[in-house]
């Protein structure tokens, strides 16, 4: 009986020691720089386009031919992107097979894409990346962006020729600047962030009424509208740091700006941080 007890105790000690051992994690080695060229023809009717990448840089512009064209430069073989185009669905997805290894320190993962004049329902899924997205004049029926710790600028410098049903942006601890949102031609917009610095600039010309919901944690949020836009902002949540610049009239937690044309309605719910509403 005593022998059995000592055997059991010995096994438990070995398990305990194993749990406290930190094993070295291998880091992958970067390979040769490789290029994937993309040239996808248009399909009849709107196409659902999904772009999925991890760490790196993403640049998107209009002015392309067909549905989408461009190139991806990468030096992690396991991150080799794959393109799938079936009917009215196009997916450009980065490989993710790293196993238990860490990515190399000198990563190259640069995506440069151009969209043409075909209507698209666009989804961008990304991790910790830098991005410059110019969607000026790109015909979007929906736009969804989901990212992590990132530094992103999205521009709408000219009107969206399509009616966008939903513009959705979900992010983490990031620096985000969205400009020309009045040109995005959305019916509904939702923005959800964590701890970050966010600028939502609704410059441009509203072609119809739009409703926006904003929710974030410990962040700084700036909402900018043109001085001639009709806008009402309703603030909820625990935040008590709200500053307005321009000709706003305040009634409790509601701020109204008189202008012309369609109405932009914004509901903002922030826990902590600050909210600036600016007309200029």
In this predicted structure, what is the pLDDT of residue 3? 41
Nearest-angstrom CA–CA distance, 178 and 223: 10
CATH number at residue 166: 2.160.20
In this predicted structure, what is the pLDDT of residue 252? 92
pTM for the full predicted model: 0.88
Residue 183 is assigned to a structural domain of this protein:
yes
Range of the structural domain that residue 40 is part of = 34-279
**pLDDT under 50 in the chain at which residues?**
1-13, 21-22
In this predicted structure, what is the pLDDT of residue 2? 38
Residue 2 is assigned to a structural domain of this protein:
no
Residue 6 is assigned to a structural domain of this protein:
no
In this predicted structure, what is the pLDDT of residue 100? 62
Residue 23 is assigned to a structural domain of this protein:
no
Nearest-angstrom CA–CA distance, 120 and 118: 6
In this predicted structure, what is the pLDDT of residue 7? 41
CA distances for 233 relative to 124, 164, 172, angstroms: 28, 21, 23
Q: Is 96 helix (H, G, I), strand (E, B) or coil?
A: coil
């Amino acid at each position: 009986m005593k022998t059995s007890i000592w055997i059991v105790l010995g096994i438990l000690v070995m398990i305990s020691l194993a749990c406290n051992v930190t094993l070295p994690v291998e880091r992958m080695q970067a390979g040769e720089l490789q290029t994937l060229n993309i040239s996808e023809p248009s399909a009849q009717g709107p196409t659902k386009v999904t772009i999925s990448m991890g760490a790196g840089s993403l640049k998107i512009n209009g002015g392309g031919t067909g549905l989408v064209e461009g190139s991806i430069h990468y030096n992690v073989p396991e991150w080799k992107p794959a393109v799938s185009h079936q009917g009215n669905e196009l997916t450009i997805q980065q490989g993710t097979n790293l196993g238990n290894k860490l990515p190399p320190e000198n990563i190259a993962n640069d995506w440069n894409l151009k969209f043409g004049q075909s209507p698209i329902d666009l989804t961008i899924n990304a991790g910790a990346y830098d991005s410059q997205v110019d969607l000026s004049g790109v015909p979007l029926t929906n736009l969804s962006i989901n990212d992590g710790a990132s530094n992103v600028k999205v521009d709408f410098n000219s009107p969206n020729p399509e009616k966008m049903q939903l513009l959705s942006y979900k992010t983490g601890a990031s620096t985000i600047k969205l400009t020309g949102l009045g040109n995005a031609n959305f019916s509904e917009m939702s923005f959800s962030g964590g701890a970050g610095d966010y600028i939502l600039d609704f410059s441009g010309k509203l072609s119809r009424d739009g409703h926006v919901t904003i929710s974030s944690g410990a962040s700084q949020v700036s909402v900018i509208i043109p001085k001639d836009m009709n806008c009402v902002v309703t603030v909820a949540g625990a935040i008590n740091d709200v500053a307005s610049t321009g000709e706003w009239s305040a009634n409790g937690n509601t701020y109204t700006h008189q202008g012309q044309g369609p109405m932009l309605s914004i509901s903002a719910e922030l826990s902590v941080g600050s909210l600036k509403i600016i007309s200029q």
